[in-house]
A and B are shown apart, each in its own frame.
Chain A
Amino acid sequence: MIPISRRPLLGLAAAAAATAAMPREAHAADRFVYANNSNFDTLDPHVVFDTARVAVRLNFYDGLYRWVDNPPKLIPWLAESHETSADGLDWVFKLRRDVKFHDGSPMTAEDVVYSIERILALNLGAAPLFRPLLEAGATTAPDAHTVRFRLKEPSAIFGSLVPDITVVNSKLVKRNERDGDWGRAWLARNVAGTGSFRLRRYDPAVGFIAQRFPDHFAGWGPKYLDEIEFRTVLETNTRVLGMIRGDYHGTDGYMTPDQIDRFRASDTVQILEQESMRVFHFCIHNARAPMNDIHFRKALVHAFDYDGFINDVLKGSVVRNPTIIPNNMWGAPQGLEGYKFDLDLAKAELAKVQAPLRPITIGTLAGFSETEQAASVFQANLRKIGIEARIESAPWPTVSSRMRNKDQQYDMVPYWKSTYYADPNNWLGELYGSRYLGGGNVSYYSNPEVDQRIERALVSTDQEERQRLNEEAARMVFDDAAGVWIYNTKWFGPYSKRIAGIRFCPVGSGQDMRWAHFA
């Protein structure tokens, strides 16, 4: 007989038992699992500025103010109040005195100053919004709980932007700086915030797990989530089936009606419905031939089958939005009818185009099949008027960085312009204003008449005037056919029936988890 040592066998058995116990343990701990359709390649709150990775900014970090509810409203957050000088240039924020970072150290005005300087210096993420307004060094801390921003020009929207000054722990980040990188390498994988949750584990390929931060200054309600996980699940069907099976408790609220129908048919998932502000459109590269010819663009806007896409592909779950400004946002032109799908009109416009035609490239977002379907609808109809369209698919981080480069930008990109702050500038100004060329203006559209109105609307304090200016500018951009605007989204948030307290806001799309809890 061959002698067999029993020890390795016992070890194996123990390991097997541990593996078997793990999933059960995870369920017992009642961890909230969110299946995210994009990966968290970085945790740095100042480097990216999109909805796909907003969970990091909302749950680990806090801003001076915060957007909540629908329609979005601003509530005091790290700051208690603010005052503006008569010339509109000095903005003084009074900070709360009881705010602690996750490491226990108190948050002071120094941290706010460091954070805004870091945003400006890195010149990524939300920086294009702040750079026209703030010079480096223009922010000061008169005392430990007061911050003063000295703007370059008066701004009607600065108050709406302060939620995006996410505050990092300056002492901790400075300790981890390497060669003056503002701690970029370190903060990509670590968290130094005051937010509602503390980082427990992070893997760029998998996502992150976070624990509730009991000492958060805003306090906690009677019920809350102890642990949250944002897991990267790129495959739509995996997210859908995982939700139905109960493996995930939440996922993105902008799935196609095909998928929403499946959720509704299941008995584990509830769908929370909300009006949102997220305009789906084809952004057109206005500076490149032949799209720099208005007749070519007019041919484009008349060649998209709006009704077919909205009523058949999206089963009528959304409403047509004629311009880039969402219908439910002030500043959206009243009584304006969107462009009609009319191939004869499109052909007539195309006949007036001087420049030689060439195949145009549409960049779609891998994993967001709706963008591909919209592109296919477009492609089929463009073909009928003699324009060849090529569809190229790539992951969002790739598409997004190509869009920001004038030479690399595709000819057209179908995507959603989400809400980052509730002001028409979020859509109209950023996509068509010359001041954001090289930043958010990925249409590479520039029109002095439009600019004049956008600029004026940014400094005016008269709400009526601001509304009028935005409406006028939006009409001009519309007349120029600078984009193919399709619809304004409704948010259909799929959540497990065990979850309650989801507080939806178009800014962040309901991923601020501090309000949610197991029912």
Chain B
Amino acid sequence: MSAPNHGFLAGAADIARRLLRDRAAMVGFTLILLLVLAAIFAPWLATHPNDVYEIHTARRLTPPGAEHWMGTDRMGADIYSRLLFGARITILIAVIAVGTAVLVGVPIGLVAGYYRNWFSDLLMRLSDIFLAVPQIVLAIAIAQTLGPSIENVILALSATYWPFWARLVYAETRSIKNETFVEAAIALGASAPRVMILHILPNIASAIIVRTSIGMGATILTAAALGFLGLGAPPPTPEWGRTIAESREYLPEAWWYALAPGIAIFLVVMGFNLLGDGLRDILDPRIRRGGRGP
């Protein structure tokens, strides 16, 4: 593998330019941007910002209209406003959980891939144990044991998600370690941490970025599933999964109740997946979507 060695800024600009040409990736990027804007400006965008914790029993289950754009829930709170504040929780969970998984998984993968001894075997077998159990099942078990709260959802997701990065980084490190430029660096007497961080890591960064983008979508979905099962934040937190769980006994009559958070989850997860796909096309030329020119 040849690593074209641009300067960092030039490389980023090049990636951005190519990304702009990819329509699907731009749709994904726009969706994520909307999510972030909704989260930041929730207090100003919301029509009923107090409805995050206030209730109005006289207005429960009102269909969408001029006063309540997306209707009201079983407590008479404005679904649109709660949805916006829910975006904050979604981002919080996804960023911290995936961030932790990356911070834990990448060093483990690097170390295990760089050295070839019993310790790297130990690390990889450990991640195998985690990967042997479906992630959602393990996350449910952890969240259930620790009790329902946002912190515990984040913990459960990070604890079950790091092996995916460890595995990926391990495989990439193993193959890059045999490259001439790595062997040269070692021959020049560079220390192991220096080789790993300055020579190997930049060359596998693209794989990590792609995995992280797609991983964000999966994490949001899993977090919503935990919320749906009642393992997420307790009421009145406007978490999307929990809102869908509350809404299910009013289906199909109060269709708007489940529809709004359902579409929100769908769009955000799709946004991360589209962006991840686009990034992969650009950063990892080995795997490409079919039917596309260079």
- Chain A contacts for B250, CB-based, 8 A: 237, 258
**Contact with A376, one of B55, B230, B248, B249 (Cβ below 8 angstroms):** B55
**Contact with A236, one of B76, B147, B148, B249 (Cβ below 8 angstroms):** B249
Q: How far is the CA of A160 from the CA of B249 in the complex (A)?
A: 38
**Contact with A393, one of B55, B57, B75, B234 (Cβ below 8 angstroms):** B234
Write the B229-272 contact mask toward A (1 if CB under 8 angstroms, else 0): 01000111000000000101111010000000000000000000
Write the A248-284 contact mask toward B (1 if CB under 8 angstroms, else 0): 0000000000110010000000000000000000000
- Chain A contacts for B57, CB-based, 8 A: 305, 308-309, 312-313, 377
A312 in contact with B249 (CB, 8 Å): no
**Interface set, chain B 45-80, CB cutoff 8 A to A:** 53-55, 57-58, 60-61, 74-76
- Chain A contacts for B248, CB-based, 8 A: 235, 237
Q: How far is the CA of A356 from the CA of B269 in the complex (A)?
A: 44
**Contact with A392, one of B60, B234, B246, B253 (Cβ below 8 angstroms):** B234
B236 in contact with A376 (CB, 8 Å): yes
Q: How far is the CA of A373 from the CA of B236 in the complex (A)?
A: 10
A391 in contact with B75 (CB, 8 Å): no
A164 at interface by CB-CB < 8 Å? no
Question: B221 to chain A: closest CB distance in Å?
Answer: 21
Q: How far is the CA of A375 from the CA of B55 in the complex (A)?
A: 12
**Contact with B230, one of A235, A259, A366, A379 (Cβ below 8 angstroms):** A366
A376 in contact with B253 (CB, 8 Å): no
- Chain A contacts for B76, CB-based, 8 A: 312
Chain B residue nearest to A258 in the complex (CB):
B250
Question: B243 to chain A: closest CB distance in Å?
Answer: 13
Q: How far is the CA of A191 from the CA of B159 in the complex (A)?
A: 45
A383 at interface by CB-CB < 8 Å? yes
Write the A380-401 contact mask toward B (1 if CB under 8 angstroms, else 0): 1001000000111100000000
Chain B residue nearest to A313 in the complex (CB):
B57
B148 in contact with A379 (CB, 8 Å): no
Q: Dominant SS at the B interface? A: loop
- Chain A contacts for B249, CB-based, 8 A: 235-237, 240, 258-259, 369
**Contact with A373, one of B53, B58, B74 (Cβ below 8 angstroms):** B74
- Chain A contacts for B60, CB-based, 8 A: 312-313
- Chain B contacts for A393, CB-based, 8 A: 148, 230, 234
Q: How far is the CA of A309 from the CA of B57 in the complex (A)?
A: 7
Chain B residue nearest to A383 in the complex (CB):
B53
| Among A305, A366, A375, A379: residue with most chain B CB under 10 A | A379
Q: How far is the CA of A258 from the CA of B248 in the complex (A)?
A: 12
Q: How far is the CA of A237 from the CA of B258 in the complex (A)?
A: 13
Q: How far is the CA of A309 from the CA of B56 in the complex (A)?
A: 10
- Chain A contacts for B253, CB-based, 8 A: 262
B235 in contact with A377 (CB, 8 Å): no
A430 at interface by CB-CB < 8 Å? no
Chain A residues within 8 Å of chain B by Cβ, number: 26
- Chain B contacts for A258, CB-based, 8 A: 61, 74, 249-250
Question: B277 to chain A: closest CB distance in Å?
Answer: 36
Question: A446 to chain B: closest CB distance in Å?
Answer: 30
Chain B residue nearest to A381 in the complex (CB):
B55
Write the A297-309 contact mask toward B (1 if CB under 8 angstroms, else 0): 0000000010011
Q: How far is the CA of A309 from the CA of B60 in the complex (A)?
A: 11
B234 in contact with A380 (CB, 8 Å): no
Q: How far is the CA of A259 from the CA of B76 in the complex (A)?
A: 17
A372 at interface by CB-CB < 8 Å? yes
Q: How far is the CA of A258 from the CA of B253 in the complex (A)?
A: 10
Q: How far is the CA of A259 from the CA of B236 in the complex (A)?
A: 23
Q: How far is the CA of A313 from the CA of B251 in the complex (A)?
A: 17
- Chain A contacts for B54, CB-based, 8 A: 380
Q: How far is the CA of A259 from the CA of B74 in the complex (A)?
A: 13
- Chain B contacts for A392, CB-based, 8 A: 147-148, 234
Chain B residue nearest to A375 in the complex (CB):
B235
- Chain B contacts for A383, CB-based, 8 A: 53
Q: How far is the CA of A140 from the CA of B86 in the complex (A)?
A: 65
Q: How far is the CA of A235 from the CA of B246 in the complex (A)?
A: 11
- Chain B contacts for A380, CB-based, 8 A: 53-55, 75, 236
**Interface set, chain A 378-426, CB cutoff 8 A to B:** 379-380, 383, 390-393
**Contact with B75, one of A240, A366, A376, A390 (Cβ below 8 angstroms):** A376
Q: How far is the CA of A376 from the CA of B55 in the complex (A)?
A: 8
- Chain A contacts for B75, CB-based, 8 A: 373, 376-377, 380
- Chain B contacts for A259, CB-based, 8 A: 249
- Chain A contacts for B147, CB-based, 8 A: 392
Q: How far is the CA of A312 from the CA of B54 in the complex (A)?
A: 15
Question: A366 to chain B: closest CB distance in Å?
Answer: 6
Chain A residue nearest to B54 in the complex (CB):
A380
A379 in contact with B58 (CB, 8 Å): no
**Contact with A379, one of B61, B74, B235, B246 (Cβ below 8 angstroms):** B235
Chain B residue nearest to A380 in the complex (CB):
B55
Q: How far is the CA of A312 from the CA of B58 in the complex (A)?
A: 5
Question: A321 to chain B: closest CB distance in Å?
Answer: 19
- Chain B contacts for A305, CB-based, 8 A: 57
Given contacts A380-B236, A391-B234, contact A237 B251 (CB under 8 A): yes
- Chain B contacts for A391, CB-based, 8 A: 234-235
Q: How far is the CA of A372 from the CA of B235 in the complex (A)?
A: 9
Given contacts A237-B249, A369-B249, contact A377 B55 (CB under 8 A): yes
Write the A347-385 contact mask toward B (1 if CB under 8 angstroms, else 0): 000000000000000000010010011011101100100
- Chain B contacts for A366, CB-based, 8 A: 230
- Chain B contacts for A262, CB-based, 8 A: 253
- Chain A contacts for B148, CB-based, 8 A: 392-393
Question: A236 to chain B: closest CB distance in Å?
Answer: 4
| Among B147, B230, B234: residue with most chain A CB under 10 A | B234
- Chain A contacts for B234, CB-based, 8 A: 390-393
Q: How far is the CA of A377 from the CA of B170 in the complex (A)?
A: 52
- Chain B contacts for A309, CB-based, 8 A: 57
Question: B74 to chain A: closest CB distance in Å?
Answer: 6
Question: A70 to chain B: closest CB distance in Å?
Answer: 28
- Chain A contacts for B53, CB-based, 8 A: 379-380, 383
Enumerate the 4 nearest inter-chain pairs by beta-carbon distance, A residue then B residue, closest first. Answer: A312-B57, A308-B57, A236-B249, A380-B55
Q: Could you list some 5 contacts between A and B, CB below 8 A?
A: A237-B248, A312-B57, A366-B230, A369-B249, A393-B148
- Interfacial residues, chain A to chain B (CB-CB below 8 A): 235-237, 240, 258-259, 262, 305, 308-309, 312-313, 366, 369, 372-373, 375-377, 379-380, 383, 390-393
Q: Can you name 17 extra interface pairs (CB under 8 A) apart from A258-B249, A313-B60, A376-B235?
A: A236-B249, A258-B61, A258-B74, A258-B250, A309-B57, A369-B246, A373-B75, A377-B57, A377-B75, A379-B53, A379-B236, A380-B54, A383-B53, A391-B235, A392-B147, A393-B148, A393-B230
